[in-house]
Every structure is written in C-alpha cells, then in structure tokens.
Amino acid sequence: MLGGGDGSRFNARYAVADLDRGPDATAFVGQVLEPLERRGTVSLQRVSSVQDGARLLERKEADAVFVIPAGFSSATTPEVIGGAHAPIAVQVAREMAQAFAMERQSIRLAVLAASRGLPVDEERDSRLARRAQEVAAPLTLVSDTSATRRQLDTATYHAAGMAIFFQFFVAMFVMAAVFEERRSRVLARVLAAPVPRAAVLGGKALCGILIGLMSMAVVVAASTWLMGARWGPPLGVVALVIAGVLAVTGIAAAVAGFSNTSEQAANRISVVAMVLGVFGGALFPIPQLGVLEVASHLTPHRWFLTGLADLAAGLSPGALLTPVLVLLAIAAATGGLALTRVGGMTRT
C-alpha cells in the first residue's frame, strides 16, 4: 500500500520478420503480438528480411526481432534476435516465443495421442489440432481492475517518503537556532521585551512550520515536474502536507526540549528521524505484518503515506479524515509537551 508500485510502464519495440506466412505464423503474429500492440505494451514493426531487422537493432530502433523461418508452421520454432541495449525486452521476447512453441508442441502431442494406432490422415489431424486449440485452459490468470488500488507509484512513494523524512532536519535547524539564541543571550533580551513569552515561542514555532511548508511545496513541485510523481488532488495534498509538517515539527520540538545544547538536540532529532523513518516506511517499504505493522502506525510517516495512497486510489475526501486527524493529534500532543519543555528552558 505504501510503495513499490509500477512507476514506469513496460514498453518494448519489436520487429517481426515473417518468412513463413503459414497458419501458425499468422496465429503467432495475430494472437500473440498484435493484441499486445493494441494494448500499448509493445510497438510492432514488420520487416521483410532478417537483415532489415538486424539493421533496426544496430540503429537501436528495435529491442528485439522475431524471426519466423520458412517451414515454421510445419515443425520449427520462432527465433529471437535481441539487442544488447535492451536485455529486459529481449528476455520478454524470448519467453513469449518459448511459450508459443510449448503450446504448439502440446497440441501436437495431443493430436498424436488421439490418433495413435490410426492411419495417417492430415485432414483429421488438422481437425483435432483445431479442437485442441479451442479447449479452454484449466487455469487462467485474469487482471481484475474492479478493485481499488491503494498504492503509490515508485516516483511518488520515494518523493513523499523523502519529503516527510527530511522535515525532521528542517525542524532541527529551527530548534538549533533557539539554542544558539539562548547561548548568545539574544533570547533573554527578546524575552525581556514587553511581549508575552508564549508569543515569542509561538513565533519561532510558526517560523519553523512555514519553512517546513515551503520546503514541502518545493519537493512536491519538483518531483511532479522532474520525476513524474502523482501526488493527487491539490486540496487533499495540502491538508496532508500541513498536518504532516505540524506533526514533525511537534516531535522535533519535543525532542529538543529534553536537550541542553544545540549539538545534543541535533543528535537526538537525527536519531529519532532515522528510527521513525525506518519504521514508518519512508525510506523503503516495510512488511505489513506483526510488530512492524503496529510500530508503523506510531509514526507520522505511515499516516502521511497512507493518506497519499488513499488519494491515489481516488477515494472520497472523507477517506483522508483519519490520516489527517491522527497527524494533528500527534502535533497537538508533542507540541504541548514541547511548549512546556521549551518554556522552562527559556527561563534558565
């Protein structure tokens, strides 16, 4: 649900040199290759000779060439000439040719078994072969597109995971600035002004939140334009980003509140960021079972990515209610703790 989806669609460029033009050759092209071409999985070119296909490979205008030799409909199997620049497409072509050849061989064996002990009759054998081809497979794999797919594609998953992961380090710099101001006595002079202490702390927290929101906006825009990430409807993304930044800022501030120096705060925030990032699935997908499943629900990363997955599935805006509320609850709990700790720190 959180990642590992199909970030890029497979598309291969194949050429076909049909030197046989018999019924089996026509079946291979018409029943195997052309349906894939109509689906957009492969791009198909017809060539008149093996040499023409080889030239396409040399110019890298094709990934592999299917050679259907003369006599293919009688006994031989299709040949595949692959380009070194596209090993995956070549392997797929090889598997397709082998699967078709195995099916033809199974039909021949079925015909031989049915006509064993009978005199040779080509018309009867052809009729048996057609009947064997019409028999439905005992097991058929189908692609069911009716189910809702709650999964981020690869580009979106990694962009979102890194964005929420590095928010901790954005917040860390803001917390470090508070410690530096306290060390240089700047914070004491600011607090001596006729301004409520809560307003000073709230202003610094707001500064960190605004910086976090701007950094997230840059990541969303850059990953969309440069990586092709699909974040989803803007309003839903904005709600998740705001809630996520608030949660991360609250956690970082709470951790900093239990520190005495900027170096100590930076080290502790870094450790917390790494632990939560690993268990929350921000760095790589984690198995959704057992202890890891429970631990991931304690991290803002998990809820942020879950909300984006719901957006990717096209669910209603109400589906975002749970992730957003959980993130806001994390922000409220840790933010309240942070105000208490940082408030005490400013008095020392």
Quick check: is 305 in a domain?
Answer: yes
Shared domain check, 120 and 224: no
Tens digit of each residue's pLDDT (9 = 90 or more) over 3-23? 444 445 678 899 999 888 877
Give the rounded percent of residues in the chain with a pLDDT score beyond 90.
Answer: 20
Shared domain check, 180 and 300: yes
Shared domain check, 97 and 237: no
Average the pLDDT over each of 64-68, 136-140, 326-330 and give the range with the smallest value: 136-140
Please check the confidence at residue 57 and state whether its pLDDT lies above 60: yes
Token digits of residue 76? 């031989």
Please check the confidence at residue 71 and state whether its pLDDT lies above 70: yes
Q: Where among 73, 102, 134 does a domain terminate?
A: 134
Quick check: is 1 in a domain?
Answer: no
Shared domain check, 200 and 53: no
Give residue 29's pLDDT.
Answer: 85
Shared domain check, 250 and 204: yes
Displacement of CA 34 from its chain's centroid (Å): 29
Mean pLDDT throughout 287-294?
67
300 vs 212: CA distance, rounded Å: 15
Give residue 133's pLDDT.
Answer: 54
Give residue 170's pLDDT.
Answer: 87
Please check the confidence at residue 236 and state whether its pLDDT lies above 70: yes
Shared domain check, 206 and 262: yes
Pairing of β 79-82 and β 64-68? antiparallel
187 vs 348: CA distance, rounded Å: 11
Please check the confidence at residue 208 and state whether its pLDDT lies above 80: yes
Please check the confidence at residue 59 and state whether its pLDDT lies above 70: yes
Q: How many residues comprise the chain?
A: 348
For the chain, the domain total comes to 2
Quick check: is 139 in a domain?
Answer: no
Among 86, 346, 315, which Cα is nearest to 196's?
Answer: 346
Residues in Cβ contact with 52 at an 8 Å cutoff, skipping those fewer than 6 apart:
15, 17
Q: Give residue 342's pLDDT band: very low, low, confident or very high (50, 70, 90).
A: low
Q: Which helix (DSSP H) or strand (DSSP E) does residue 66 occupy?
A: strand 64-68
> For the chain, what is the mean pLDDT?
79
DSSP 163-220: HHHHHHHHHHHHHHHHHHHHHTTHHHHHHTSSS-HHHHHHHHHHHHHHHHHHHHHHHH
Which 8-state DSSP code applies to residue 226?
A: I
Q: Exposure pattern of 120-136 as b/e (b: 16+ CB <10 Å)?
A: eeeeebeebbeebeeee
Quick check: is 180 in a domain?
Answer: yes
- Residue 294: give the domain boundaries: 154-346
More reliable by pLDDT, 141 or 316: 316
Whether the Cβ atoms of residue 31 and residue 82 lie closer than 8 Å to each other: no
Q: Which helix (DSSP H) or strand (DSSP E) does residue 45 occupy?
A: strand 42-47
Measure Cα distances from 174 to 42, 179, 184, 256, 286 in Å. Answer: 51, 9, 16, 10, 30
Tens digit of each residue's pLDDT (9 = 90 or more) over 143-201? 555 545 556 778 888 899 999 999 998 888 877 777 777 777 776 676 666 767 667 77
Give residue 227's pLDDT.
Answer: 86
Quick check: is 141 in a domain?
Answer: no
Quick check: is 148 in a domain?
Answer: no
Whether the Cβ atoms of residue 281 and residue 3 lie closer than 8 Å to each other: yes
Token digits of residue 95? 């598997």
Quick check: is 267 in a domain?
Answer: yes
Based on the number of CB atoms within 10 Å of its own CB, is 177 exposed (0-12), middle (13-18) or buried (19 or more)? middle
Give residue 5's pLDDT.
Answer: 46
Shared domain check, 234 and 161: yes
Shared domain check, 224 and 103: no
Three-class SS of residue 46? strand
Q: Give residue 325's pLDDT band: very low, low, confident or very high (50, 70, 90).
A: very high
Evaluate the CA torsion angle 213, 218, 221, 222 in order and state its sign.
Answer: negative
Give residue 238's pLDDT.
Answer: 93
Give residue 188's pLDDT.
Answer: 66
- Matching residue, tokens 């198995």: 287
87 vs 12: CA distance, rounded Å: 11
Shared domain check, 213 and 316: yes
Residues in Cβ contact with 174 at an 8 Å cutoff, skipping those fewer than 6 apart:
204, 207, 208, 211, 249, 252
Q: Give residue 1's pLDDT band: very low, low, confident or very high (50, 70, 90).
A: very low
Token digits of residue 83? 């380009």
Tens digit of each residue's pLDDT (9 = 90 or more) over 72-94? 766 566 788 888 778 888 888 88
Shared domain check, 293 and 186: yes
Q: Give residue 344's pLDDT band: very low, low, confident or very high (50, 70, 90).
A: low
More reliable by pLDDT, 160 or 129: 160
Shared domain check, 165 and 127: no
More reliable by pLDDT, 105 or 58: 58
Quick check: is 119 in a domain?
Answer: yes
